[in-house]
Amino acid sequence: MKIQERTGAGAGRSAAPVQPPVGDRLPTPPRERKPALAALAVLLILVGALGATMLVLRVGDRVEVIRLTGDVQAGDSISDSKITSVMVNDDSGAAFVPWSQRDALKKLQAKSTLYKGTVLVGQMFAAKSSVQHGKATVGVSLKEGQYPNTLKPGDNVAVYRVSSSSSSGSSSNSSSSSGSSGGDSLLVDHAVVSDVKRSSDDVISSTNLPVTLTVDASDAPALAQAASNGEVVVVQIPGN
């Protein structure tokens, strides 16, 4: 009886499932690869790199140009005290004046008044006039004795009005004398000889000397009127 019970107990234990050894696990199936996701990731990386490159290139297109730090009146030129450099994008199509050309720009004059803060473009400037702002040139025809024989371009001179009545010595025309009342007078205290056309350059038979004078604009009307009457005398002054 006891023997049967032991046998039954042993049989019951042998019927329990046997656990597999730890090192004998079943292999896991390989992961399924998704090439589409990998390609999308690579594409996103390339797009990001391209965007960063374009940004760098756009920044690299900036150029150094001239900006005014003070007003420049029409007819005037720029000066170092009224300009500074500033960086701008070179994709606007505007003809900005590069900072490297500032010395060449000083030889030109503004077409109109330019104000502080303006970024300069080439169309704002033109070649300088031979006559400075506030000056005027007047042509006079001088007779022998009305100018120094050594007169030449660049000389500084003073211009006097000499009445024709005093030069002729006639006293019969009282109306003419009263019309030129005041006698001889200083017309221009300082003028510059711009040009002198000697007889070799003109008609040989001419006895007059054509001279071009640069004077202040305010002195031009009186000088032109006296010159038309042949009442101008030119005298050299210090500074030549």
Map 9-49 to HEC letters.
HHHHHHCCCCCCCHHHCCCCCCCCCCHHHHHHHHHHHHHHH
Listed in sequence order, the DSSP H helices in 61-141 are: 102-105
* Cβ atoms of 96 and 119 closer than 8 Å: yes
Helix then strand then coil, % of the chain, to nearest 5: 35, 25, 40
Looking at residue 101, the DSSP 8-state letter turns out to be G
Any idea which residue has 């077409």 for tokens? Answer: 111
pLDDT by residue (tens digit) across 208-225? 899 999 999 999 999 999
Percent of the chain at pLDDT > 90 equals 38
Nearest to 99 by CA among 65, 63, 62: 65
Mean pLDDT of 20-29: 58
Q: What is the pLDDT of residues 171-193, one digit of tens each?
A: 334 333 334 444 568 999 999 99
The predicted pLDDT at position 112 comes to 86
CB 69 within 8 A of CB 100: no
Assess contact for 65 and 120: CB atoms under 8 A. Answer: yes
| pLDDT score for 95 | 86
Looking at domain 62-127, which of 3.90.1210.10, 3.40.50.1980, 1.10.3720.10, 1.10.340.30 is its CATH number?
Answer: 3.90.1210.10
- Tokens read off for 124: 């704002």
Residue 205 has pLDDT above 80, yes or no: no
21 exposure class (CB count in 10 Å sphere: 0-12, 13-18, 19+): exposed
Q: What is the pLDDT of residues 83-101, one digit of tens each?
A: 999 998 876 678 899 999 9
Max mean pLDDT among 14-28, 141-155, 171-185 falls in 141-155
Q: What are the structural domain ranges in the chain?
A: 62-127, 135-168+180-236
**Six token digits for residue 222:** 């009186």
Within 10 A of 66 (CB to CB), how many other CB atoms are there?
A: 22
Please name every residue paired with 159 in a beta bridge, in sequence order, or none if there are none: 188, 234
Q: How confident is the model at residue 132 (pLDDT cuts 50, 70, 90)?
A: confident
